[in-house]
């Protein structure tokens, strides 16, 4: 319970129903009363609160950039990083298989649990409780340097670059999958007509595609600008 108390202090909200918090921290591998439905609720609350706060914080930013800013703040990597800062993994309830495979270190499990905690807070204390957690953990990341070109992920930047030249959109394919189920590695290829295909490998299919896109963008920019 000391771990749970520390977690509640870190997220800025004290649960009245501790059972809701426990459910939010329970992975599906640990039992039938797990956190997936709470994650669904928390994801919706998180997206709305982040959108509202960005809208108020950046009154001159376009809808497209606001959407990209929100995407950056609510993406798996960012949520997993936040979860790491508050030691959320120490409170996770996992099944034996996930414990053996190091599930507490997996970004997806930590990010999902953080969303579930937000969803549980919504049920426990209403919208204000969910908003308090988002304000505590996510709002500090809404700094002035959040805007700009770096917000666009490589796939978005590559597509915009190609559209600006009137060229076809890129095609992404997974050319290989390696490793065991809990240590999967993906090799993604990015293909653009008239350019040499690029490939990248990562534990996430999406990250592999982004890295391949970044390589393709660099290649095309060199060809254009020299």
Q: What HEC string does the chain produce?
A: CHHHHHHHHHHCCCCCCHHHHHHHCECHHHCCCCCHHHHHHHHHHHHHHHHHHHHHHCCCCCHHHHHHHHHHHHCHHHHHHHHHHCCHHHHCECCHHHHHCCHHHCHHHHHHHHHHHHHHHHHHHCHHHHHHHHHHHCHHHCCHHHCCHHHCCHHHHHHHHHHHCCCCCCEEEEEEEECCHHHCEEEEEEECCCCCCEEEEECCHHHHHHHHHHHHHHHHHHHHHC
Residues 191 and 94 in one domain: no
Q: Distance between CA atoms of 53 and 56, rounded to whole angstroms? A: 5
Indicate which CATH number applies to the domain containing 99: 1.10.1520.10
Residues 103 and 14 in one domain: yes
Q: Are residues 112 and 173 in the same domain?
A: no
CA-wise closest residue to 196 among 165, 177, 223:
223
Do 131 and 194 belong together in one domain? no
Q: Give the residue-averaged pLDDT of 143-158.
A: 72
165: CATH = 3.30.160.20
Q: Taking a C-beta distance cutoff of 8 angstroms, is the pair 154, 214 a contact?
A: yes
pLDDT, averaged across the chain: 90
- Give pLDDT tens digits for 158-180: 998 899 889 999 999 999 998 87
Question: From the candidates 98, 115, 124, 153, which is the catalytic residue?
Answer: 115
Do residues 61 and 145 lie in contact, with contact meaning Cβ atoms separated by under 8 Å? Answer: no
Do 48 and 67 fall within a single domain?
yes
pLDDT in tens, 67-125: 888 988 999 999 999 999 999 999 999 998 888 888 788 899 999 999 999 999 999 99
Same domain, 125 and 60: yes
| C-alpha span between 10 and 131 (Å, rounded) | 14
What is the pTM for the complete model shown? 0.67
Binding residue positions for Mg(2+): 39, 112, 115
Count: domains in the chain: 2
158 and 125 in a common domain: no
pLDDT at 181 over 80: no
Encoding tokens for residue 149?
């070109």
Q: 147, 182, 216: which is the final residue of a domain?
A: 147
17 in catalytic set: no
The domain of 165 spans 154-225
Can you give the pLDDT at residue 98? 84
pLDDT for 149 equals 53
Residue 131 falls in the annotated catalytic set: no
**Distances, alpha carbon 154 to alpha carbons 59, 184, 185, 209, in Å:** 26, 22, 20, 9
112 and 33 share one domain: yes
Could you tell me which residues are annotated as the binding site? 39, 112, 115
User: Which of 82, 117, 147 is where one domain is finished?
Assistant: 147
Return the closest-CA partner of residue 137 out of 116, 108, 114. Answer: 114
């Amino acid at each position: 319970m000391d771990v749970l108390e520390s977690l509640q202090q870190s997220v800025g909200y004290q649960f009245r129903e501790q059972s809701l918090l426990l459910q939010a921290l329970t992975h599906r591998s640990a039992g039938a009363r797990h956190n997936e439905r709470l994650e669904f609720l928390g994801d919706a609350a998180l997206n709305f609160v982040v959108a509202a706060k960005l809208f108020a914080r950046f009154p001159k930013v376009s809808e497209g950039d606001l959407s990209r800013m929100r995407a950056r703040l609510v993406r798996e990597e960012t949520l997993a990083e936040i979860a790491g800062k508050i030691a959320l993994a120490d409170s996770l309830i996992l099944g034996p298989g996930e414990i053996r495979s190091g599930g507490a270190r997996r970004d997806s499990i930590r990010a999902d649990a953080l969303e579930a905690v937000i969803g549980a807070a919504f049920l426990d204390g209403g919208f204000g409780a969910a908003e308090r957690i988002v304000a505590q953990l996510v709002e500090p990341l809404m700094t002035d340097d959040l805007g700009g070109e770096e917000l666009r992920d490589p796939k978005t930047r590559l597509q915009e670059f190609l559209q600006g030249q009137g060229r076809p959109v890129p095609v992404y394919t997974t050319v290989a999958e390696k490793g065991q189920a809990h240590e999967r590695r993906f090799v993604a290829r990015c293909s653009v007509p008239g350019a040499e295909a690029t490939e990248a490998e990562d534990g996430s299919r999406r990250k592999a595609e982004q890295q391949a896109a970044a390589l393709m963008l660099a290649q095309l920019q060199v060809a254009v600008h020299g």
